[in-house]
Structure 1
Amino acid sequence: MIWVLCDFDGTAAALDVQNMLLDHFLGSSWRDVVNSVLAQGLKSSTYMPLLYKDWPASKEEMIRVIDEKAALDPHFPRFVEYCREKGYHLEIVSDGLDIYIERLLAKHNLDDIPYTSNRLVFEDGKVRIQSPFCSESCGLCGNCKKQRVLAARKANSRCVVYIGDGISDECPAGFSDIIFAKGSLLAYCRENDIEAVPFGDFSDVLGLFPEALASWLKSLTIQES
C-alpha cells in the first residue's frame, strides 16, 4: 500500500491556522514565547502549554474566527479524491489543534480522514492542551509525526509519502520515501541533502505525484534486482 502522510497548517490548509488564531487573540507577543523556546532547542510540547495557559477566547469565538478566516487549500479535496481512487492510505499529521482540523474537514465532508494532533480542552472556563501523541522517548513535539511514519512501516506499506512545510515536518520527512516540501521544510531538505519535490499547493502535488511515485518504484525495482 502507498501511505500518504500530510501536514495540516500551511499544507492541507491554505494558511497556518494556529498562527492566525494566535495573532487574532494574542497579537504578536506569542512569537517571542515561541522563539525563546526554540532558541533553547525545545519545541511545541514546551511552548504550546505556555501559549494557551491564559487563553482569552471561548470555543465558540474560536470557531467563528476559523469560519471567517481559515480554509483548506482549494485543491486538497481533489487530492483526497485522487488518493481514494488509487487506494492510497491518506492521513493528516498535525502539530496543531483538533478544533480547526475537524471544523475545516467537516466543511468539505472530509471528516472521515484519520488524523493525529494536539487537543484543545475547554473546561471550567479554562483551556488546556492535551498531547496524546507526544513521543515518550523524545518529547519535543506535541505530536510526534515520526511515530506515524514508523507505523506506516509496520503496516508493510510499500512507500511512505510525506507532504509538509514546517519545523515539525523535518524529523518525519527524513524517514519517508518521497517528500513533497515547501517553506522551511524545503529549505531544511536542501540544507541537509534530502531529496524533496518542491510544491506550491495541491495542484502541484496532483500534477507531480504520479511521476514521483513511478520514479521511486522504478528505483526500488532496480535496487531489488
Structure 2
Amino acid sequence: MYDFLPDPELEKKNNESEIFICTQCGECCHIREQKNINKQQEDAYFSYMYKSLGILYFAKLSEITINIWPEEKEELEKQAKKNNININIKPKRGFYNKKNNTFIIIDYFIDHDICPFFNHEKKQCGIYDYRPLICRSYPLLTTKTLGKCKYKKIDVNAYSSEKLPAEKLEIKTATIKNIIKELIEQGEIDTTIPPTEIFELIKKFELMNNENIKELRLK
C-alpha cells in the first residue's frame, strides 16, 4: 500500500505560494477515484449521453480513470514496452456510424488504480516528457473547471506550462462534440438504434477482426 504523503518542504512552499507547486505526494497519479454515484444515476447518465450524442460507454464510471486519446495510447504503450512496464489500456467511449457500418472509439482509460508509470521511489512520473495531455494540464485540467479545482489558487493566466495543455484539452473535447453533432445531423449516427444492438455488432466486429472498429483521431 502506497501512502500519498507530500514532501514537507515542498508542501510548505505550496502553502505559501499563490500558485500550485507540486509536493510530490503522488495523489494525482492515484488515478482511480471514488465517484459518489449510484447505479440509477449512472444509468441515467449513460442514457443521456447516448440519446443526445450517440456515445456509448465501455466501462462503469467507477472503473474509469484518466482520459487517454488514441494517439496517446499508442505512445504510452510504446513507453511501457521500452521501460518493461505492464499497462492495461481499455476503450472508454465510442459511437456507431451507421453509414459506414463502423464503430469509432473516441478515447481510452488506463485500467490501474495507480498509474503504472508512477515512480514510487522518486515520487515522480517515469515518462514525464511523454505524459498525456490531461496530466500536462494538472492542476488546471480544463479551464472550465478551474474554479472547482482544489489546487487552483489564482487566475489561470498565472499558470504558464499548464495553461496551454488545458486549453488544448478543452478545444479537443469541443471539436469532438461538434464532429459528433454534425454526424447526427447528417444521419450517420442514429440514436434510435438500441445500444444493445450496437454492442452485439461490436462483438461481431471483434470476432471478424476486420476494419469495422476504428479510432477518432484529430490532427
User: Could you state the TM-score of these two structures normalised by the residue count of structure 1?
Assistant: 0.26
Q: Whose helix proportion is higher, 1 or 2? A: 1
By percentage of residues, which structure has more strand? 1
